[in-house]
Chain A
Amino acid sequence: MQIRHVLLATAAIAGLAGTAQAENVLKWGANRDIGSLDPYSYGDSFTINVLNHVYEGLVRYNEDLKIEPALAESWEIMDDQVTWRFKLREGVTFHNGNPFTAEDVVASLTRVSDDTSPLKGNLPAYVSSEVVDDHTVDITLNGTYPLLLNDLTNIHIFDEEWMTENDSLLPTDIGGGVEGFATYNANGTGPFIVESRQPDAKTVFVVNPDWWDEPQHNLDRIELTPVNSAATRVAALLSGEINFTNDAPVQDLPRLAAAPNVEVLEGVDLRTVMVGFPFREKLTTGEDNPFTDNRVREALYKAIDLDLIHEKVMRGKSRIAGATVAPPIPGYVPELDELPGFDPDAAKALLEEAGVPEGLEFEFSCISDGLVNEEQFCQAIASMWSRVGLAPKLDVAPRAVQSPKRTNGKTDVYILGWATLPMLDAYSPLLQIFHTKEGNSGVFNWGGWSFPELDALVQQAGMELDLDKRLSLETEALKIVKDQNIMIPLHQQPMAWAVTDDVTEMPLFPDNKPRLWFAQVAE
C-alpha cells in the first residue's frame, strides 16, 4: 500500500530505497516526539521506550513483565557479593554489521554512568565493569544490591567501535557547540533499524533482518509521527492515516470504540499521579512556606474530591489511589491504599489551625504534554483548593519548560507521575523521589524534603538481598511517605491505546510501553 518513491537527483547513488510492494507498515501516531535518537541524552521514558526497538539491554522484560535474557545469556553473582558476571550472547551483530562483544558492554556502561549523563540515576549502584573475555563481562557494584537486573533492562548497549569512530563515547555534550553524532544516528542490535528521522515530523524504522531473536511480529516498517493535538490524533485514526496510537484521549474513547474500523485497548497504567509540596523556607512569591506543616498538606489532601476527578476528568477510567505505588508493584500493601475522604470543612479547619492566611497564593505547576488529562485535573484541583480559601496560581507549560524550573526549586506545588520504570519496584520512587537529595539519591526530590528515618530504611532496603525482608522495609518507608503526606497520590492513570482493524495483534502492557516486536498487521 505504502509505496515510497525516491527520486535521486544524483543517479550514481545506489540508495533507491524501498520500492517493495505491499509492505506491512505500522503507522504510529504518538502524542509527542522522542527527544533524540540517543537514549542516554534525554532522561525520559518515552524516548527510551521507543529506542528500545533499536537498542537493547543485557536483559529485558518478557510479555509477563518478568526478566529474561536478552543480550546476556546468563549471569551470576560472584563470591564477593558485589561483582556480577554476565555471559553474553554470541553471534549478535549491530545494524552496521559489527559483532557484539564485551567491549561494547563496558563502553556503554561507562557512557551511561558518566557524570554528564542524564541517565546515571538509572544505574545507581554501578561502580565499574571489566572485560573478562570476548563474551564475558564483570560488573562491580558499590555494595550488595538486589535490583541490578531491573536497572539493566533499560540500559541500552551501543557499539564501541561505532562510538569511537564517531567521537560519541561520551553522552552528548551540547556545551561543546557541536551536535552529538548519536543524537541523530543510531546503531543498535534491536529488531528495527532507524531509516530516517526528521525531529517533530517523522521517524522511520525498518525491520532488522539479522535480528538475533525469532521475530514474533510481521512488520516491515514503523513510521512514528508525533501528532500533538489529541483531536487530530483521533481524526487521523478514524480516517486510517495512522493505524496505532499509544495515547488515545480518554474523552474520545466512546467515539473511537463506536467506529467500525477502530479497536480501543484499555487498561490502568502503573503510573501513579501525585501532588508534591515545597519544603523550602519561602514560596516563590517570597511568602513564608506553610507546606512544611503536615496539617497543611493534609488539608490540601482532604480538599480534593478524588471521586469527582475520577468520574468527570478521567471518565471513570482511572484507579483512585491512596498509595504512592500501584498494587502490582512489589512493596505495595493494601493498607497503604486507604483514602482520607473528601472533607472541605475539615480542610478549612486544619488550615485555620495551622495559621494559613486566607487567600494564600502559591504556584501550582502542571505540564501540558504530560500525564493523561493533566491540564484538566490540575484546573479542577485548583478550583477545589480555591474553595477552601487558597489561591493557587496555575502554571501550565510543556515539560521542557517546567522541568528546569522544578529541578532548580523554582516552583511550589507540582504534579508528578511515577511508574517505577524500569525497576518495577517500590525501591524506585523511594530512592529517586522520597530520599533526601544527595548524590544519586533523591534526583526527583524537587520539594527538597529530608526524612532521615525514611532515608535509613531506603538504604537498608538497597542492601537487602532477601526479597521479603526488602519489601517489608520498603513498605515501612512508604508508610512514612503516607503519614507525612510527603506527596499525595491521586490516581493511577488510565492508559488507552487504539488500533485500526488492519492491526491484528497489539499487546498492551501495564507499563504502557509499546513493544512492537509483538505486533502483527494484516498482510
Chain B
Amino acid sequence: MIAFLIKRIANAAFVMLAVALLAFIIFRFFGDPVEMMVNEQATQADRAELRERLGLNDGLITQYTRFVTNAVQGEFGISYRNQQDVMVLIKDRFPATFDLVLVATVISLVVGIPLGVITAIYRESPIANALQLGSIVGVSLPSFVVGILLILAFSVSLGWLPAFGRGETVDIGWWSTGLLTPSGRRALVLPSISLATFQITLVMRLVRAEMLETLRADYIKFARARGVPTSRVQWRHALRNCLMPVITLTGMQIGNLIAFALVTETVFQWPGMGMLFIQAVTFVDIPVMAAYLMIVAFIFVALNTVVDVTYAWVDPRLRDDTARAGGANG
C-alpha cells in the first residue's frame, strides 16, 4: 500500500511538473513579457535592463526551475492587465467559482440520483424512456444555450431571478460566499442549474447502469425472496451499493466542473476564476493564463490521486495500473 501511495504521488508530481513546463513555455514564448510590460516610449536600453532584471537572459533550465519554485510558493508574477499579483486575483475569485461548483454538484446529485433510480426500476416504461431521451437532450444542449434560455425565461420574462453577478456576499476572512444571504442564494440558482445540466445526466446514467447491474445480483434476488418490500430493496439496498461509483464520479468531475464553469461564468457575468481566465485570454494576460492552468490542473490531479488512493485502499485488487485505463477525463 505504501509503495502504491508513493507511486501515485510521484506520478502526480510528474504530471504537475509537465503541466508546469507547458505553462512555462506559454509564459515565456508567447507574448514577449518585456513587450507587454514596457510602454511605447521605452528605449532599447530600458528594455534590455528589464530583460536582465526579469532574468530572461538566464539559461532556460534555470528559468524553468525558478518558474516551478515560484509556482510552488504561489507566485505567478504580476498580471499584465491589472498590474496586480496574480495569486491575489485568483484568491479573490476562487470563492465565487467554488460556490457555483458546490451548488451545481449538489443539484446534480439531488436530481440525478433519483432520476437514475427511476429509469432503472421502471425500465422500458414510458417515464423511463422519456427520461432517457431527456438525458440525451441534456448532454446535447450546449451549456451556454441553456444559460441564455434560463436568463430569457426567469430573469427577463418572469423577472424572478437575477441574470448576473453574485448578489450580496458574506466575507469570512479572505473567503467570501453568497450562500449566507438571500440575494446571494437567488443569484446562484440560474448559473448553477446551467452548470449542473450536463452533470445531472452523467449522474443519472451512471446510477441507472449501476442499478441495473445490482438489481440482477444474487443478494438482491435473495432479499426479495425473503419478502423484503420491493421499494425498500430498490431504494435502500440496491441504491446504497451504487453510491460509491457516484461519489467517485462526482469527485473526479469537480475538476471538470471548475473548468466548465468558465462558460457559465461568461454567460452570467459571474465574477469567478473562469471569467478571470476568459478575460485573461482576450487580453493575452499570460501570467493569469499560466496560473489558472496550473491551479486547475493541480485540483484535477489532486482529486484524481485521492480517488485512486482511496479506491486502492478499499479494493486492493486495483493497486495495478492497468486497471485504470480509461481515466477520469475520458
Contact = CB atoms under 8 A, between A and B. Distances in A.
Contacts of B283: 398, 400-401
A115 B41 contact: yes
B208 interface: no
B63 interface: no
Interface string B57-99: 0000000000000000000011011111100010011001000
A118 interface: yes
Contact of A174 (B78, B151, B275): B78
Interface string A106-130: 0000000001101000000000000
A4 B168 CA distance: 7
Contacts of A229: 269
B163 A199 contact: no
Given A5-B168, A5-B181, A235-B156, A199 B84 contact: yes
B33 to A, nearest CB: 10
Given A116-B39, A236-B163, A199 B168 contact: no
B35 interface: yes
Nearest to B77: A177
B89 A199 contact: yes
B17 interface: no
Interface in A204-233: 225, 227-229, 232
A20 to B, nearest CB: 14
Interface in B145-171: 151, 155-156, 159, 162-165, 168, 170-171
Contacts of B53: 175-177
Contacts of A239: 155-156, 159, 162-163
B244 to A, nearest CB: 35
Interface string B169-180: 011110000001
A41 interface: yes
B250 to A, nearest CB: 28
B54 interface: yes
A264 B92 CA distance: 34
A235 B168 contact: no
B84 A201 contact: no
Q: Counting chain B CB atoms within 10 Å of each CB, which of A41, A183, A201 scores highest? A: A201
B50 A232 contact: no
A238 interface: yes
A14 interface: no
A118 B92 contact: no
A179 B269 contact: no
Contacts of A401: 282-284
B12 interface: no
Nearest to B167: A241
Nearest to A238: B156
Nearest to A403: B40
B84 A179 contact: yes
A432 to B, nearest CB: 14
A235 B151 contact: yes
Contact of B171 (A7, A238, A400): A7
Interface of chain A, helix or strand or loop or mixed? loop
A183 B164 CA distance: 27
Given A9-B173, A183-B84, A201 B168 contact: no
Given A235-B151, A238-B156, A41 B83 contact: yes
Interface string B1-24: 000000000000000000000000
B84 A408 contact: no
Interface residues of A, number: 48
B163 A175 contact: no
B162 A241 contact: yes
Contacts of B155: 235, 239
Given A6-B171, A404-B40, A241 B164 contact: yes
A23 to B, nearest CB: 12
B164 A118 contact: no
B181 A397 contact: no
A288 to B, nearest CB: 26
Q: Counting chain B CB atoms within 10 Å of each CB, which of A176, A228, A397 scores highest? A: A228
B269 A172 contact: no
A232 B279 CA distance: 16
A229 B37 CA distance: 28
Interface in A28-43: 35-36, 41
A6 B170 CA distance: 6
B255 interface: no
A198 B85 contact: no
A6 B89 CA distance: 21
A457 to B, nearest CB: 26
B136 interface: no
B78 A177 contact: yes
A200 interface: yes
B38 interface: yes
Nearest to B283: A400
A19 interface: no
Interface in B28-48: 35-41, 46
A95 B41 CA distance: 34
A36 B83 contact: yes
A413 to B, nearest CB: 20
A400 B281 CA distance: 11
Interface in A376-428: 397-398, 400-401, 404, 407-408
Contact of A175 (B38, B81, B85): B38
A506 B92 CA distance: 32
Nearest to A115: B41
Contact of A36 (B35, B82, B170): B82
A228 B269 CA distance: 8
B54 A177 contact: yes
A504 interface: no
B276 interface: yes
Contact of A183 (B83, B165, B173, B282): B83
Nearest to A184: B84
A180 interface: yes
B112 interface: no
Contact of A201 (B80, B93, B268): B93
A201 B271 contact: yes
B172 A201 contact: no
Q: Counting chain B CB atoms within 10 Å of each CB, which of A3, A200, A404 scores highest? A: A200
Contacts of A408: 40
17 contacts: A7-B170, A10-B173, A36-B82, A41-B83, A116-B39, A175-B37, A175-B46, A179-B78, A179-B85, A180-B83, A200-B275, A228-B269, A232-B163, A239-B155, A241-B165, A398-B282, A400-B81
Nearest 4 CB-CB pairings of A with B: A201-B271, A235-B163, A407-B40, A9-B173
Given A4-B168, A201-B271, 17 more contacts: A5-B181, A8-B171, A8-B172, A10-B173, A118-B39, A177-B54, A180-B83, A183-B82, A198-B93, A200-B271, A227-B269, A228-B269, A232-B269, A241-B162, A397-B282, A400-B284, A404-B40
